[in-house]
Structure 1
Amino acid sequence: MVTQRKRKRGESWPSWWAFGVIAALVLVDVVLVSMALASTRPSDASGADGVAAPLTTSSASVIATPTPTPTPTPTPTPSAAPTPEASSVAAQSVVLSGVDDLVAYRAVTGACPDTAALLEVTVDGGATWNAAAPADARSIQSITDTTEELSIIARDPGSCAPVVHRSFVQGADWVAVDDLGSRWYLDAEQVVSPGGAVSTPCGRPVQLAVRSPSEAAVLCENATVSVTTDAGAAWATSAPVPGAASVATGGAGYLVAVAHRDGCDGAQVVSLSAELAPGAPGACIAANAAEGATVIAAASSGVLWYWSGDVVARSSDGGATWSP
C-alpha cells in the first residue's frame, strides 16, 4: 500500500505543473487573438445572414467589368462642288443684228403663220426705229447685213417652210430667193449648216450665233451652249449657264447674256472661255422684259448691241460697260 506524501507548508509546486499552467494561458491567448482577427475580416464575401459565402474556382462565376469602347469621331465627308442651278431658256420672241456703231436691225418673232415679219432698222444708235419688213414673210429667225445686202431667214406664210429674203436698199424692197444652202439656220429641233448638213447638238436649240461657214454656237433650252468648228460634225457643250438668255459672237469666242442673276434686275454679259466656262459678269443693264425678250448681237465693228423690253444699249468692251 502506497502512502501519499502530503506537501508541507512552504513547499513549492513541482515544475511540470508550472509548465501546464503556462501552456493553458498561451492557448487561451491564441483563442482570443483568433477571435479578434475574425471580427475584423472583410464581410464582402458574406451572405445576407452573415454566413460566409462559399468560394468557387469556376471561371463562369467571375464577371468582368466591361471596358468602355471609345466612340470614334466621325470624319466629315467633303461636300461635293455645288452644281450650277438649272434653268430653262424660253423660246426667243425677239431677234437683233448689229451692223456697226449706229446701224442695227431688230424684229419681233413667234409662231408661224401667226407672227408677221415685224422688222425695224435704226441708223442713229437706237434713238429711232423705222419699219423695214417684207410683207410676205412670217416669223423672222435671223437677220444678216453685209456691205452688199440685207437678208433675213423667215417662214413662208403658206407652208411655214424656211425662206430667205434679200434687200439691197436697207429693207425698202425685198425679194425671196432659194439660198438656204449657204446659210446656218434652225429647223425645229435641228441645226442646219451651210451645205445642208443636219445635226442635233441638244434637245431644243433656241438661238444661233454664227462666226463663219464652219463655226457657230447654239444656245439650248437647258441653258447649255454648244459650239462647233467643223460645220456641225462635232459639238462641244458647256455646263448649264444659269440665267442664260441669248448668245452672240464676241472676240475670239462667244458671249452669253444672263438675266436676273446676282442681284441684277435686268441682264449682264459673260464671256465663255475656250473650255466654255463663263467668266465674270459685266455691268448690269436694268430692264423689265418677258422671258425670251432679251437678246444681244455683235456688229462687225466689235460693238455689242443689247435689246430687252424698252431698253437698247451698246458696248464697246464686250459688255463690261454700256451706253445708250
Structure 2
Amino acid sequence: MAADKRRRRGTAGRRKIWIAAVAVFVVVDVALVGLALSEQGSDGGTASVAPVATTSSSPTATPTPLPDLEPLTSPAGYLSAIDASTAYRINAGDCAAGEAPNLEKSIDSGVSWVSNPVTTTLRSVTQFAATSDTYAYMVGLNDACEANFTATYTSGTGFGSYPDELLGVWYLNTADGTLHSPAGVQTAPCSDVVDVVGLDRLSAAVICSDRTFFHTSDGGGTWGTPSPLAGAMATSTGVGGYVVAQIGRDGCAGVQVSTLSAADLTPAVLGCYESTPDSLEGADIRVSGTQDSIWLQVADTVVVSTDGGATWA
C-alpha cells in the first residue's frame, strides 16, 4: 500500500510539471506572435523576406494614330552618329533623277557639315550606316536603278562600289519592293515597308506606312508581334537597340524620342525635343543613337543629347 501511495504522489508530481510546461509554452508562443505582429505593423520594421516585384496597376497609355497624320513615306535622308560630336548624313535621292547624293560629315555635334558628292554610280539611298570616324556605307540604286553598294574609307573624300557586299546587309530594294537580308530575299511582314533597320545579320526591324513596327531575330524568317508606333517619323539603331522619333505624343510639344530593345519592343521614352507641332508633319526628321548620345534632326536643325534625352543642344 505504501508503494501505491508513492506511485500516486509521483504521478501527481509529473502531472503538475507537465501542466506548468504547457503553460510556459503558451505564454512564450503568445509573446512571439505578438512580437511578430508588432514588427510587421511598425514603419521602421524590416521584412523577413525580400519583397516581390509587382507590376504597377496604373493604366498605361496606348499609342493611338493621329487622325490627321498622313501615311508614313520613305525617309528623305539618313543620319548615322558615331559619338557625341561626330555623325554622317546623306539624302535619299532618286535613281531616275540621275543626280549623285551628297554625303555630309560633322565633327562639332551638328553645328557644321562638310559635304562630298558620291562619286560612284549610286543615285539613291535606302540603307545607310557609319561605323567609324572614317568609314560609312550606303545601299541604294545606281543610275540604271539597280541595287548598288557604295562605301567610303576616307570620310567621303573617296568612294568605291562593292557589289559583293550586298550579300551581307539588310536593305529595301525600292525598284521592285523586295526586302533583302544577309540570308537572301525575305517575305516582308507588310506590303508597304517604308524602312528597314538592321542590328546585325540576324536581327532587324521594319516599319510600315501605317507606322507598325516589326522585329525579326532569325534573319527575316519570322516576324514577331507588331508594335504600333503612333506618330513615328523616323527610326534607326542606337541605345542598345532601336530608337524612334515620334510626333503628336501626349506630354511632348515637339519630337519625342524613345528606345526599343530587341527583347521588348515596348517603347521607353527617352526625352522630348520641343518644337512647333504644326511644322513637324512635313519636316525632314531623322534620329540616331550611340553609346553616349542621341542625335535628332528636325528640318534644318540638328540637336544632340548627352544625358539620355533630358536636354538637347
With the length of structure 2 as denominator, give the TM-score of the two structures. Answer: 0.69
- Report which stretch shifted further, 284-293 or 164-173: 284-293
Match of 2:187 among 199, 207, 230: 199
Q: Deviations over 1:241-293 (max 9, x none)?
A: 21011122333432221023336443111233644223346223316455361
Query: Deviation of residue 313 (structure 1)?
Result: 1.2
Q: Would you say the 8 A contact 1:244–1:258 is kept in 2?
A: yes
Query: Deviation of residue 134 (structure 1)?
Result: 1.1
Name the residue aligned to 1:297.
288
Q: Would you say the 8 A contact 2:102–2:117 is kept in 1?
A: yes
Q: Secondary structure at the match of 1:284?
A: strand
Q: Distance in 2 between matches of 1:264 and 1:183?
A: 35
Name the residue aligned to 1:166.
151
Query: Deviation of residue 131 (structure 1)?
Result: 0.8
Name the residue aligned to 1:90.
73
Name the residue aligned to 1:175.
160
Q: How does 1:231-242 map to 2 (within 5 A)?
A: 231-242=219-230
Name the residue aligned to 1:316.
306
Q: Deviations over 1:165-212 (max 9, x none)?
A: 121210101111112001111113332111323221212122222211
For 1:108, give the aligned amino acid: N
Q: Quick check: which one's helix share is greater?
A: 2
Q: How does 1:1-324 map to 2 (within 5 A)?
A: 84-85=64-65, 88-114=71-97, 116-135=100-119, 136-147=121-132, 149-157=135-143, 159-178=144-163, 179-188=165-174, 189-262=177-250, 264-272=252-260, 274-280=263-269, 282-286=271-275, 288-289=279-280, 291=282, 293-299=284-290, 301-318=291-308, 320-324=309-313
Q: Would you say the 8 A contact 1:203–1:221 is kept in 2?
A: no
Q: Distance in 1 between matches of 2:208 and 2:249?
A: 18
Unaligned runs of 5+ in 1: 1-80
Q: Distance in 1 between matches of 2:225 and 2:297?
A: 26
RMSD of aligned Cα (Å): 2.5
Count of aligned positions: 241
Change (3 A) 1:185 1:302: farther
Q: Distance in 1 between matches of 2:286 and 2:202?
A: 23
Query: Deviation of residue 295 (structure 1)?
Result: 1.2
Change (3 A) 1:263 1:293: same
Q: Quick check: which one's strand share is greater?
A: 2
Q: Would you say the 8 A contact 2:85–2:107 is kept in 1?
A: yes
| Runs of 4 or more consecutive aligned structure 1 residues displaced over 4 Å after TM superposition | none
Q: Distance in 1 between matches of 2:63 and 2:234?
A: 21
Q: Deviations over 1:113-167 (max 9, x none)?
A: 225312211111111111123133211222222347322113211x111211121
Unaligned runs of 5+ in 2: 1-60
Name the residue aligned to 1:22.
none
Q: Distance in 2 between matches of 1:83 and 1:175?
A: 43
Q: Distance in 2 between matches of 1:112 and 1:279?
A: 37
With the length of structure 1 as denominator, give the TM-score of the two structures. Answer: 0.67
Aligned-pair identity in percent equals: 28
Q: Distance in 1 between matches of 2:280 and 2:92?
A: 15
For 1:145, give the aligned amino acid: A
Change (3 A) 1:250 1:113: same
Change (3 A) 1:272 1:237: same
